[in-house]
Amino acid sequence: MSQNLSRGSDTLGSFLHISRPEVDLPEATDPYAPEVYAKAAENLERMLGEAVLVQDPHPTFYIYRLTMEGHVQTGLVAAASVEAYDRDRIKKHEFTRPKKEDDRVRQIDALDAQTGPVFLVYPSDGEVDGMLSEEADREPELDVTAADGVRHQIWTLSDPVRVGRLTALFDGMSALYVADGHHRSAAASRVTAARRAANPAHTGEEPYNYFLSVIFPHSQMQILPYNRVVRDLNGLEREQMLERIAVRFRVETSAHAVLPGRHAEFGMYLPGQWYRLVLDEGRIPWDDPVQRLDVSLLAGELIEPILGIADQRRDERIDFVGGIRGLEALEKRVDSGEMAVAFSLYPTSMEALMAVADAGEVMPPKSTWFEPKLADGLVSHLLGGR
């Protein structure tokens, strides 16, 4: 791991001039236009020159703590190895979209820096967890509560002995996992490959061989459900649909909104009425880490065979609602007439995500909603020129 990083000392909002530089350009500017990336680079140089961003003089790790409504997670900010990513020691679980990946590549190249971290997870380790917690007992160097109420705290860790020990512990882990930020990590890999090819003196130690990450223990992750809403009932009347569902699920009416409490249990909302759906356990493919996911079970047992939606990535009849918005958001979209039916899901566990990644498989679309979100700009990784 490399620790060549710069820490933000300004408010969270000001970093929009780098992450969303189009705010400084005419309103009709295409966000993918060359001048947008150039403006981001100009703003980064200005912030460095004005000491809004301050580069630490020594190799440094950072401890990053997020607090949201009583939930606390404490991780390590570090620059993770692109080689480890390319060799699948940093495991992925999502496909990426070329256009979004290209945008990230252009941004990294223009800035000569990575300013948005990749959210990584490590299998919880008592010694690592303990070291991070100990470091967070001190007064933080940065303590900011954002507009959404999430508290972001940063501590520096530059003691060479402790830095070395943490590095050794992470190097000894069999794998890390990308929780969020697949486009950022894929773009970093592409930038590394291009710069390696263009550098005849390449050693593998250059800053461009690493990407900005925050690494949290899997036991502290908070994954919320990713719920579904569907525009129509595929030509069925309510009673017809309920009859077809009852062949595969136990169906119970509920006087209250249904927040599923276990695997293979779902809530369904039709205008004015909630239902609890419990899938017959004999229909669950326990030996398949992808197909046994709740999102896969709902797709394979109801959304595709009954509602006729085979491709959730592209079918415009279905939409997705992050669990942070609550069940009221599902009711509102159905009661307004915009959607015909809504489904609430049990959240995917971190263990289930890791099992999919370990199997070399890909999660279905919109399987996980992580909260709280990382902030861009608190820490950046400078690539040191081309």
Tell me the per-residue pLDDT of 188-223, one tens digit each, with 9 for 90 and over.
999 999 999 999 999 999 999 999 999 999 999 999
Residue 6 confidence (pLDDT) above 80: no
In this predicted structure, what is the pLDDT of residue 385? 72
**What average pLDDT does this structure show over 276-297?**
97
Q: What's the pLDDT band for 365 if we cut at 50, 70, 90?
A: confident
CA atoms within 13 A on the CB side of 204: 4
Domains of the chain, start order: 5-222+372-382 (no CATH), 223-370 (3.30.1760.10)
In this predicted structure, what is the pLDDT of residue 9? 41
In this predicted structure, what is the pLDDT of residue 12? 37
Per the model's pLDDT, the better-predicted residue between 355 and 20 turns out to be: 355
Per the prediction, the chain carries an average pLDDT of: 94
Measuring CA to CA, which residue among 43, 42, 57, 67 is closest to residue 7?
57
Q: What global pTM score does this model have?
A: 0.90
In this predicted structure, what is the pLDDT of residue 4? 43
Structure tokens at 4: 């060549």
In this predicted structure, what is the pLDDT of residue 383? 95
